[in-house]
Structure 1
Amino acid sequence: MKEKFSFTILQSEALTKYLLETSAYPREHQQLKELRHATVDRYSHLSVMNVPADEGQLLSMMLKLMGAKKTIEVGVFTGYSLLATALALPDKAKVIAIDPDREAYEVGLPFIEKAGVAHKIQFVNSDAVTAINQLLHDGEEGTFDFAFVDADKENYINYHELLLKLVRVGGMIAYDNTLWSGTVALADDDLSQEWKDRIGENRIFLRNLNAFLANDGRIELAHLSIGDGLSLCRRLH
């Protein structure tokens, strides 16, 4: 297995490797480690779609500090962040996990079951807008402590509007990949055509999101350079 490292413009690959191998991997839960390896084996270069171990540990610590008991995950892939979340929550907690790709989720499911946390997770095989609107229709407004979003970047702002209704005041929404390999900080002229083809339109979607969140008075914002960028939004009202 060849490990692939995701790093932002603020981090060298050597520094990312050092952080993971010195601090994160030695404290990684065994089932998270096995899920990470299985994802690399199954999906190769796409394995970077899962959050890195250090980001998973940050989310885990944050959930524990918040005392979170009810969370939602928009975009699951094989479930590394989902398993990290489920492990951090108390036994009777609940995680709604939404993804249209059940096949990828089922790659991680054996590790979730082996970790003894499958009973906390409700997987919803659906697009996120439909699933979140159904939760709002069912009276779930303001009942979630935390939301993690790692899905189609063009819909992040749409998800934001819905999740601000779903997450309680004082709760948190986290958006992944908001630095997009550091390219959000670069002008078009600074990118080769090869890079433009590689990163697609997601760079533009994420630049728009970052500008939107920076000016959203409904939230308290912390934009972090961890993994591929993580934006933490605490709902104020």
Structure 2
Amino acid sequence: MSNQSIGLNDDLYRYLLANSVREPEILTQLRSETARHPLVDMQVSPEQGQLMGLLVKLIGAKKCLEVGVFTGYSALVVALNLPEDGRLIACDVSAEFTAIARKYWQQTGVNDKIDLHIAPALETLDRLLADGEAGTFDFAFIDADKNNYAAYYDRCFQLVRSGGLILVDNVLWYGRVADPAMNEDKRTQAIKDLNQQIYHDDRVQISLIPIGDGLTIARKK
């Protein structure tokens, strides 16, 4: 028993992967292709992806939202765990990055579940709100430009139903959130500000877990 979270060295992390992660081959292939991408650090870890899929199943999610797609690993995990009539609205600004995502979505047969919007995410989220979709989503995942994190959280909170989940990625930001030398960095400060905002938001139940680069799970009351 430990009274605080333990750190993971390389050997322990490999043990975790070998004894926990049940990654379908198609996800392994996508992760391998993304590993050759210069922005590979933008992809979620396989153990985080598996947790996301489990949460989608646990709450019986049918209507999901993703802010930030990149090469589509997290979106594919979510879509694979949705029922046949499930739907994921995915927001990204890069047709280049998401072209990789589309290829794997097509191969797995989940393409029809995913509605990809290539546009600034705030435009898409505001349009969903204007179209009367507030309170209709079961699950939202935020993993995009950090300077807009607070705005994404605000829109996702409005769009998610009571009892639904909002997940926010990179909330530990490679340890920079606890490094005083990074106080002047705008992206680091944006994440710190959102962490504090969510911590003091009594409209949600929360857990910040040290998986991947830090993941906050917020359940809307």
TM-score range, shorter chain: over 0.9
Cα distance in 2, alignment partners of residues 155 and 16 from structure 1: 31
Greater relative CO, 1 or 2 (CA 8 Å, sep 6+): 1
Q: Normalising to structure 2: TM-score of the pair?
A: 0.92
Which residue matches 2:24?
29
Residue 62 of structure 1 aligns with an amino acid whose one-letter code is: L
1:18 aligns with 2:15: yes
1:201 aligns with 2:172: no
Aligned with residue 231 of structure 1, among 209, 212, 216: 216
Which residue matches 1:222?
207
Q: Is the 8 A contact 1:72 1:95 kept in 2?
A: yes
Which residue matches 1:6?
none
C-alpha RMSD over aligned residues: 1.8
Q: Tell me by how many angstroms 1:101 deviates.
A: 0.6
Q: Tell me by how many angstroms 1:12 deviates.
A: 2.9
Q: Tell me by how many angstroms 1:211 deviates.
A: 1.1
User: How many matched pairs?
Assistant: 216
Deviations 1:122-162 (A, max 9, x none): 00001111100000111111100000000011111111111
Residue 35 of structure 1 aligns with an amino acid whose one-letter code is: L
SS of equivalent to 1:169: strand
1:40 aligns with 2:35: yes
Q: Tell me by how many angstroms 1:184 deviates.
A: 1.3
Cα distance in 2, alignment partners of residues 61 and 22 from structure 1: 16
Deviations 1:147-184 (A, max 9, x none): 00000111111111111110001111000000011221
Please show how residues 79-90 of structure 1 align to structure 2 within 5 Å.
79-90=72-83
More helix by share: 1
SS of equivalent to 1:11: coil
Cα distance in 2, alignment partners of residues 17 and 77 from structure 1: 25
Identity %: 41
Residue 156 of structure 2 aligns with an amino acid whose one-letter code is: L
Q: Is the 8 A contact 1:10 1:225 kept in 2?
A: no
Deviations 1:186-221 (A, max 9, x none): 222xxxxxxx5xx95322211111111110111111
Cα distance in 2, alignment partners of residues 142 and 131 from structure 1: 16
SS of equivalent to 1:48: helix
Cα distance in 2, alignment partners of residues 19 and 204 from structure 1: 31
Listed as ranges, the gaps of 5+ residues in structure 1 are: 1-8, 189-195
